[in-house]
Amino acid sequence: MSKIEDIRTFYARLMAANAASPDRRLEEVFASVPREAFLGPGPWTVIAGSGKITTPSADPAHIYQNVLVALDADKGINNGEPFLHATWIGKLAPAPGEAVTHIGAGTGYYTALLARLVSPGGAVTAFEFDGRLADLARQNLEVYGNATVVHGDAVATPLPPSDIVYVNAGVVAPPAGWLKALRPGGRMIFPWRPSERVPLAMLVTRTDRGFACDPFMRSWFIPCFGASVADLAAKIPTREEAMRSRSIWLVEDRAPDRTATAIFADVWFSSEDLVAKPAT
């Protein structure tokens, strides 16, 4: 076994252990998808806290760690933290045959992991707003026959029907169209950033009763164009209110009521738990 294969294998084991997922394929895809293929030629700029460090060489061993790697330092766009993505992907549990929409694909590394996990029979549609990154993602993903890159605005463009919507850009609230795109049983993860003091990761599941949600960890991503600023009439939650959110409703389906923890133009968050069994 060569050095880089050994390093990738250990990295993949770390990712799978952090995700705590029963799906053994998670380790396999982290080991088989070469991260360096999506980062451009090294040396690379690694983000460390509020600072930046340049790797001492172009040896890919330097980026098989839980580190952010800059894709466009001027815009603050990075190839995200692997531990976080392993956790999120583990929670979503992609299965063969499922349709995934990836919003904020960057250069396509996590798109590639998703594409492998929904094979055979599944496909990934990856949206990237930045034209240069979209072109790079398209080139990087050519060898993955089930991934399509769209250079465009995922807020203004209708999403395809999806079993999974994977969002890598912060929003004050998910656009109504994203929720409507979820098929029954579909899952979405997005970085919820209704205010500077509320940076949360939100897991949404479409149930037969509505959209159940679970704010399960802190997270921070760059803002999503077109969905990162709340309107003046919005009810912005405190962190405590945000953490109590257990469901999301379309305003057109149900008006906000006393259970509301946050209210925006088209959607609102509620403390009503859709997963809990109703009292008999």
Question: Span 2-22, mean pLDDT?
Answer: 93
- What pLDDT score was predicted for residue 65? 94
Q: How many residues does the chain have?
A: 280
d(CA 268, CA 263): 4
More confident residue, 90 or 74: 90
Are 92 and 166 in contact by the 8 Å Cβ rule? The answer is yes
- What pLDDT score was predicted for residue 102? 98
Return the SS3 of 247.
strand
Instruction: Give me the long-range contacts of 83-88 (CB less than 8 A, separation at least 24).
Output: 83/14, 83/15, 83/18, 84/201, 84/219, 85/110, 85/113, 86/15, 86/16, 86/18, 86/19, 86/26, 86/30, 87/18, 87/19, 87/20, 87/217, 88/166, 88/189, 88/201
25-84 pLDDT, tens digit per residue, is 999 999 999 999 999 999 999 998 888 999 999 999 999 999 999 999 888 899 999 999
Nearest Cα to 186, choosing from 201, 165, 159? 165
92-103 pLDDT, tens digit per residue, is 999 999 999 999
Report the percent of the chain where pLDDT is more than 70.
Answer: 98
Is the pLDDT score of 141 beyond 90? yes
Question: Span 251-273, mean pLDDT?
Answer: 97
- What pLDDT score was predicted for residue 50? 80
- What pLDDT score was predicted for residue 66? 94
Question: Whole-prediction pTM value?
Answer: 0.95
- What pLDDT score was predicted for residue 231? 87
- What pLDDT score was predicted for residue 278? 52
Residues 6+ apart with CB under 8 A from 218: 199, 200, 201
String of DSSP letters for 170-201: BBSS--HHHHHHEEEEEEEEEEEEEETTEEEE
- C-alpha 130 chain-centroid distance: 17
Is the pLDDT score of 277 beyond 70? no
43-52, 227-236, 257-266, range with greatest mean pLDDT: 257-266
- What pLDDT score was predicted for residue 48? 84
Helix or strand run (H / E) with residue 149: strand 147-151
Report the percent of the chain where pLDDT is more than 90.
Answer: 89
- What pLDDT score was predicted for residue 162? 98
185-215 pLDDT, tens digit per residue, is 999 999 999 998 999 999 999 999 999 999 9
